[in-house]
Structure 1
Amino acid sequence: MTEKPKDTTEPSAAQRSTPTMAEQSAVSSTGRGVSSPFDSPTEQFPRLSKDVPRTDDELGLDPGPDVPSVGADTPTYAYASIPPAANAPSDTGRLRRRNGESRRGTLDLGLFLLRLIVGGTFVYHGLQKLTGWFHGPGLDGTRDMMDNGGWDHPTLSAILVTVGELGGGALLVLGLATPLAAGAILAVILDAWAWKQGMIPGFQYNAGVKSGVELESILAGAAAVIILTGPGRLAFDRNRGWATRPFAGSFVVLLLAVAAAVGAYWYLHGGNPFTGIGPFD
């Protein structure tokens, strides 16, 4: 019985233990054993069964709005300008003073003293005419004085001068409705100036004579100054614009006060107070 020849194709034990050339190359290049074709950089990756999507249509995305292309007729800009943010609203006068933006020094104190002196003087004369205090004539005596002085409507004249002096003076001391208060005082004192000036022909400025208008001139000037400067911060009007920064409105009040004085003098007294002065001879 003959033995079958051995299968020469079966690898021997030595051959099974010896790695192939490809395996030796993979081991030598990676430094470790090969477990899959992807571990060897020399192996070819398997081709994917489907192409990778590259466009929006293939990915299923919304292309969005069309962006116009920049052409010859399309304006271009070198840069985009962003407007600056609006300044934060400034705080009250306390913040400005803390930052040193509006240092007024003794200005407010000086305006307060001016208001106190001028307003107090008119309150004094108003109380004389209304109540008879401080050796005053009282309301009846004021009416008789206006009648003897040539005023055509003595009762109305007495009421107007009393209200103007007492009310305007009190408001001026408080610094309340200061432009109107100073305007009322200015109108009253201008009529008093015209009345005394018209008693005797010629310019009557000397305070030593009965018809002298020196005191009236000073009081009228002080009232006009308060209208133009404002009452300052030591007043009830301290939060008003005219208290610290009067402007065009002050000129309007000044002109209205002069117009009121002229109209009241023309209606209540008449005559020309400048008789005998220069071209008014």
Structure 2
Amino acid sequence: MTDKPKEPTGDPDATATGRGVSSPYDSPTGQFPRVGGGPELRKDVPRTDEELGLDPDVPTVGEQAGQTPPYSYASIPPAAAAPGTPSSALRRRAAENRRGTLDFGLFLLRLTVGGTFIYHGLQKLTGWFHGPGLDGTRDMMTGGGWDHATLASILVTTGELLGGVLLVLGLATPLAAGAVLAVIINAWLWKQGMIPGFQYNAGTKSGVELDSVLTGGAAALLLTGPGRWSLDRSRGWATRPAWGTFVVLLLAVAVAILTYWFLHGGNPLTGIGPFD
């Protein structure tokens, strides 16, 4: 007894085309067959908010509660300072403000050093305070062995007077201190070279005692700054001078030595130690 062949189901064209019988659900993206000559049924999956019937402008629950979105990566926030503890910037500013009498001391030093240079500059320029005046200064430097006495007298008078005024005001202090430092080093070398040997006693004509004190004061003001009682108070070099001021110090010494070598010549240290 033979089995009766089963009649094909599904697509009536499957037998004619030689394809096997398959379900319309085999391919999720395929089309449903027409039923009763009706329209094709498609299996389209909604993918957008509009297709799902959602309003994209509606805020989420977290946004409605005013919460900030979470970090995109894990991080550990810095530990908060204890209540009442000042920040590092405030502590640093408070330490800078605790200067005590430092600014007043620098002001007195500027008045003393700058005022002394103004005094000597006015002596050479105007003849005040029993000074020699410009002509007398030139003659004095000519007799002291200066090869270019006119130029040397102009330089020393300008450096003393202008540098002294700027020091008292505390204006352009590195330039002012460097100028008077170069001038006083030249004066020190000149006096020291008058007589062989070390001449320090201020009671002698070639004593460099006063010149040494003024040299130290000008160098100190150059390295410390003029302080806050000055017109340079908003400048960094007024209260916190950096290594640039030390460079200015070296330049002032170099200018003084070169000026002495060019305008006067000779070795001012003759007779001192190894310079015999």
TM value normalised by structure 1: 0.68
CA distance in 1, matches of 2:125, 2:162: 11
Q: Which runs of 5+ in 1 are unaligned?
A: 1-52, 64-76
Shift of the alpha carbon at 1:154? 0.4
Instruction: Tell me, in whole angstroms, the C-alpha distance in 2 between the residues paired with 1:259 and 1:277.
Output: 21
Question: 1:119 — aligned with what?
Answer: 114
Q: Could you tell me which amino acid in structure 2 is paired with residue 234 of structure 1?
A: W
Answering whether residue 189 of structure 2 is matched by residue 194 of structure 1, we say yes
- Other structure's SS at 1:199 match: coil
Aligned match of 2:233 in 225, 234, 238?
Answer: 238
Tell me how many residue pairs correspond in the alignment. 207
Alpha carbons 1:231, 1:237 under 8 Å: kept? yes
The CA deviation at 1:80 is 3.3
2:142 equivalent in structure 1: 147
Counterpart in 1 of 2:52? 59
* Aligned partner (choices 102, 109, 122) of residue 107 of structure 1: 102
**2:271 and 2:205 mapped to 1: Cα distance?**
17
Any idea what the Cα deviations from partners look like across 1:123-181, whole Å, max 9, x if unmatched?
00000000000000000000000100000000000000000000000000000001100
Out of 209, 224, 247, which is 2:242 matched to? Answer: 247
Q: Distance in 2 between matches of 1:134 and 1:150?
A: 25
Task: Summarize the Cα distance change of 1:100–1:135 in structure 2 as closer, same or farther, 3 Å threshold.
Answer: same
Larger Rg: 1
Q: Distance in 1 between matches of 2:251 and 2:219?
A: 12
1:81 CA displacement = 5.6
Identity in percent: 74
Runs of 4+ in structure 1 displaced over 3 angstroms?
Answer: 53-58, 60-63, 80-84
Residue identity matched to 2:192: Q
- 1:121-270 → structure 2 map (5 Å cutoff): 121-270=116-265
2:267 to 264, 272, 276: 272
CA RMSD across the alignment? 2.7
1:271 aligned partner, one-letter code? G
CA distance in 2, matches of 1:274, 1:141: 27
Which residue number in structure 2 is paired with residue 14 of structure 1? none
Q: Whole-Å Cα distance in 1 between the matches of residues 181 and 47 of structure 2?
A: 88
Any idea what the Cα deviations from partners look like across 1:28-84, whole Å, max 9, x if unmatched? xxxxxxxxxxxxxxxxxxxxxxxxx99757515699xxxxxxxxxxxxx97136799
Name structure 2 gaps, 5 residues minimum.
1-44, 57-71, 80-86
Q: Give the match for residue 38 of structure 1.
A: none
- Code of the aligned partner of 1:130: L
Shift of 1:206: 1.4
Amino acid at match of 2:194: M
Normalized against structure 2, the TM-score is what?
0.69
Q: Is the contact between residue 56 and residue 62 of structure 1 (CA under 8 Å) also seen in structure 2?
A: no
- The whole-number CA distance in structure 1 between the counterparts of 2:76 and 2:54 is 33
What is the rounded CA distance, in whole Å, between the counterparts of 1:271 and 1:100 in structure 2?
50
Counterpart code for 1:59: L
CA distance in 2, matches of 1:194, 1:209: 15
Q: Output the CA distance in 2 between the equivalents of 1:275 and 1:119.
A: 31
Question: How far apart, in 1, do the equivalents of 2:47 and 2:263 lie?
Answer: 98
SS at match of 1:267: helix
Please tell me the residue identity of whatever aligns with 2:109: L
Matched residue type, 2:183: V
Taking the aligned partners of 1:120 and 1:277, their CA distance within structure 2 comes to 32
**What amino acid does structure 1 have at the position aligned with 2:261?**
W
Q: 1:211 to 1:230 in 2, by over 3 A?
A: same
Deviation at 1:102, TM superposition (A): 2.1
Q: SS of 1:233's equivalent? A: coil
